[in-house]
Amino acid sequence: MATQHSQSAARIMMAPAVILLLGWMLVPLTMTLYFSFKKYLPLRGGDLGWVGFENYTRFVSSSSFWPAVATTLIIVGGVLVITIFLGVLLALLLDQPMWGQGVVRILVIAPFFVMPTVSGLVWKNMFMDPTNGFLAYMWRAFGAEPVQWLSQASMPSLIMIVSWQWLPFATLILLTAIQSLDSEQIEAAEMDGASWFSRFRFIILPHLSRAITVVLLIQTIFLLSIFAEIFVTTAGSFGTKTLTYLIFQRVLESQNVGLGSAGGVYAIILANIVAAFLIRIVGKNLDA
């Protein structure tokens, strides 16, 4: 059906999007690569010449590199475990027959639409503040000493804030997947005497595995680059400096562009490894 003529028309129609994205990808990427091989300090002398791989080795050997990697992994891992575990439970719950299902669903997904700076600041001040925060009052009401959330328990606090934001996403996708499950299959299993647990273990969970993988990968991509939540709460102190935040500080705060760019290249490589898995899964779906 596709004629020579329509093929070339199609190419012209695609051109603007392809050219824009190509430019968006190649130009900054090339510049980052270029800077990463230079000693470049805009505020202290500017371009100080080529340095080979020095920035790459210095970035990795700096004392803040491994802690930043650990912080990143803990945040990403922590949020993934919490959101997927609770997300499955919530999706199962929301799938049950009840009154006001639509309203409950709206309540549960609401945090996803709250902008990151708002959720960061609201949690930091109205909830986690050790004097006036909601949690401090709760703790005192039970006679306990309020927790200095963002300084003494900075990582759990941050993981909690980010999980609150992403739990709706996991829940919504898992719920969509559960609802696409053939209810006759479950009923048949029920009639054959399968317990609730084995129905979950052998029918629902296998059915969800794909959705769980998708949630896992997409969240990983987004979580690797969380920024605003840290920016407005701890600004990278109290051991919450992620790789993203470390690079941001190198580039914009201390204006060591060469070093930061080398860090950026590491971040790009890391994201690409995750992306390769995601793209394979999405691609499989494209054939179906």
Partner 1 sequence: MARAITTQRKTINTLFAWAVGLIIFFPILWIFVLSFKSEGDAIKAPFEVLTSAWTLDSYATVQDRSDYFKHFWNSVTIAVGSTLLGILVAVPAAWSMAFVPSKRTRGILMWMLSTKMLPAVGVLYPIYIGFIKLGLLDTRIGLVIVLMLINLPIIVWMLYTYFKEIPGEILEAARMDGAGLREEVMYVLTPMAVPGIASTLLLNVILAWNEAFWTLNLTAAKAAPLTAFIASYSSPEGLFYAKLSAASVMAIAPILIMGWFSQKQLVRGLTFGAVK
Which residues between 150 and 189 bind partner 1 (CB under 8 A)?
164, 167-169, 172-173, 176-177, 180, 183, 187
Contacts to partner 1 from residues 42-71, by CB under 8 A: none
| 275 makes contact with partner 1 (CB under 8 A) | yes
Q: Which of 60, 73, 81, 115 binds partner 1 (CB under 8 A)?
A: 115
How many angstroms separate the CA atoms of 78 and 93, rounded?
22
Q: Which of 41, 69, 74, 109 binds partner 1 (CB under 8 A)?
A: 109
Give CA 241 to chain center in angstroms. Answer: 15
How many angstroms separate the CA atoms of 133 and 161, rounded?
14
| 277 makes contact with partner 1 (CB under 8 A) | no
In the complex, minimum distance from the CB of residue 270 to partner 1, in angstroms, rounded to a whole number: 8
In the complex, minimum distance from the CB of residue 124 to partner 1, in angstroms, rounded to a whole number: 8
How many C-beta atoms surround the C-beta of residue 69 within 10 A? Answer: 16
| 96 makes contact with partner 1 (CB under 8 A) | yes
Contacts to partner 1 from residues 18-37, by CB under 8 A: 18, 20-21, 24-25, 27-29, 31-32, 35
Q: Which of 83, 154, 233, 240 binds partner 1 (CB under 8 A)?
A: 233
Residue partners of 98: CB distance under 8 A and separation at least 6 = 104
Please list the alpha-helical segments (H only) found in the chain: 4-36, 54-61, 65-95, 101-109, 116-122, 134-141, 149-152, 154-179, 183-191, 196-199, 205-224, 228-233, 243-248, 257-287
Please give the C-alpha separations between residue 169 and each of 51, 86, 157, 217, in angstroms, as whole numbers: 44, 11, 20, 12
Between residues 81 and 268, which has the closer beta carbon with respect to partner 1? 268
| 107 makes contact with partner 1 (CB under 8 A) | yes
Contacts to partner 1 from residues 126-145, by CB under 8 A: 126-127, 132, 134, 137-138
In the complex, minimum distance from the CB of residue 180 to partner 1, in angstroms, rounded to a whole number: 8
Residue partners of 221: CB distance under 8 A and separation at least 6 = 271, 274, 275, 278
- Where residue 100 falls (left for φ over 0; alpha for ψ -120 to 50; beta otherwise) is left
| 122 makes contact with partner 1 (CB under 8 A) | yes
In the complex, minimum distance from the CB of residue 58 to partner 1, in angstroms, rounded to a whole number: 17
> How many residues are present in the chain?
288
Between residues 78 and 261, which has the closer beta carbon with respect to partner 1? 261
In the complex, minimum distance from the CB of residue 62 to partner 1, in angstroms, rounded to a whole number: 16
User: Is residue 221 a contact partner of residue 274, using CB atoms and an 8 Å limit?
Assistant: yes
- Amino acid 213 reads T
| 85 makes contact with partner 1 (CB under 8 A) | no
